[in-house]
């Protein structure tokens, strides 16, 4: 029987004020995260797991950029010279560190409240230049319409919240420039992820509010790879992220993709045979 998630309750009470039906956006999901905007930057609030996950995600991003673009000239700014797009940036939890690491980072999100909080928070740090960090309340589709491309597109922890994942992957792949890359991170659809991410994180330990995730929307690495193969990108590597309860840190684990994982796909260069990984 179909499990009715709490997200469905939001759907009944909210109207879609900002987006037309063509956009691949679920207004109830947008609303759910807009409510959390004020507490997003509290490292001990509802977004605590995302705060804790940041070091691991950034490490994977840095390592993949190293292999894709070569070693950086300046060790203190390893992402300098790269244009990043953070799809579903929320309040900028990933976008700000990317800018601090030297990237020219653009964050987009469907929630105007989140974008507003992100802009205000960025002002706290005088070193975050507005030339390096930019937030826009637009969807990925409108960026495709504008013809914009980026060196790296990050779609982290977002694909499990959109109505049509296949279309989403095609859309974001169009935003990847030549020799660029795409990061997609999400939660695997396994029994282990149901026990840990839904039952454990949402109901038993209350690390995230109940109803944040819908297990039916989780995707396995294979299904993401299949979606990527339908675009002009090719799968490069993947890594799992496991949580160590004792040290309260997330670690990268190449073998355990059972719960959280991240995939890196690269744009094939023109006239190049796809490499076998």
Q: How far is the CB of 32 from other proteins (least distance, A)?
A: 24
Interaction with other proteins in 112-141: which residues (CB under 8 A)? Answer: 124-127
Q: How far is CA 152 from the centre of its chain?
A: 12
The answer to whether residue 39 forms part of the interface with other proteins (CB under 8 A) is no
**Which strands, in side-by-side order, build the sheet including 83-87?**
133-136, 104-108, 83-87, 150-156, 176-187, 260-267, 233-244, 249-253
Q: Side-chain half-sphere of 88: how many Cα atoms within 13 Å?
A: 21
The H-assigned helical ranges of the chain are 6-13, 27-35, 48-69, 95-100, 112-122, 140-146, 165-174, 191-193, 221-229
Choose which of 83, 97, 112, 235 interacts with other proteins (CB under 8 A). Answer: 97
20 or 44: CB nearest other proteins: 44
Chain positions 69 to 88 lying near other proteins, rule: CB under 8 A, are: 74-77
- Smallest distance from other proteins to CB 76, Å: 5
Does position 275 bind other proteins by CB under 8 A? Answer: no
Among residue numbers 183 through 242, which ones bind other proteins (CB under 8 A)?
none
Among 101, 201, 257, 263, binds other proteins (CB under 8 A): 101
| Burial per residue of 30-49, b for 16 or more beta-carbon CB atoms within 10 angstroms, e otherwise | bbbbbebbeebbeeeebbeb
Least spacing, CB of residue 156 vs other proteins, in Å: 14
Check residue 50 for interaction with other proteins (CB under 8 A).
no
Residues in touch with other proteins (CB under 8 A): 42-44, 51, 54-55, 58-59, 62, 74-77, 96-101, 124-127, 246-248
């Amino acid at each position: 029987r179909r499990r009715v998630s709490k997200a469905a309750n939001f759907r009944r009470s909210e109207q879609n004020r900002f987006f037309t039906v063509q956009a691949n956006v679920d207004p109830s999901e947008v609303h759910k995260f807009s409510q959390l905007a004020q507490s997003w930057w509290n490292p001990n609030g509802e977004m605590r797991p995302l705060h804790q996950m940041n070091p691991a995600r950034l490490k994977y991003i840095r390592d993949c950029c190293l292999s894709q673009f070569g070693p950086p000239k300046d060790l203190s700014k390893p992402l300098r010279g790269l244009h990043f797009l953070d799809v579903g940036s929320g309040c900028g939890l990933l976008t700000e560190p990317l800018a601090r690491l030297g990237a020219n980072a653009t964050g987009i999100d469907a929630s105007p409240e989140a974008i507003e909080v992100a802009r205000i928070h960025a002002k706290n740090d005088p070193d975050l230049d507005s030339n390096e960090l930019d937030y826009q309340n637009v969807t990925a589709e409108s960026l495709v319409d504008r013809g914009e491309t980026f060196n790296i597109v990050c779609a982290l922890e977002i694909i499990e919240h959109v109505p049509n994942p296949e279309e989403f992957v095609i859309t974001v792949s169009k935003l990847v420039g030549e020799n660029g890359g795409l990061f997609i991170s999400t939660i695997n659809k396994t029994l282990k992820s149901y026990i840990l991410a839904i039952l454990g994180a949402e109901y038993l330990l209350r690390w995230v509010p109940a109803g944040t995730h819908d297990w039916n929307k989780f995707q396995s690495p294979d299904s993401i790879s299949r979606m990527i193969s339908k675009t002009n990108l090719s799968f490069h590597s993947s890594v799992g992220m496991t949580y160590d309860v004792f040290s309260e840190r997330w670690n990268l684990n190449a073998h355990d993709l059972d719960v959280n994982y991240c995939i890196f796909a690269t744009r094939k260069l023109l006239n190049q045979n796809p490499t076998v990984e």
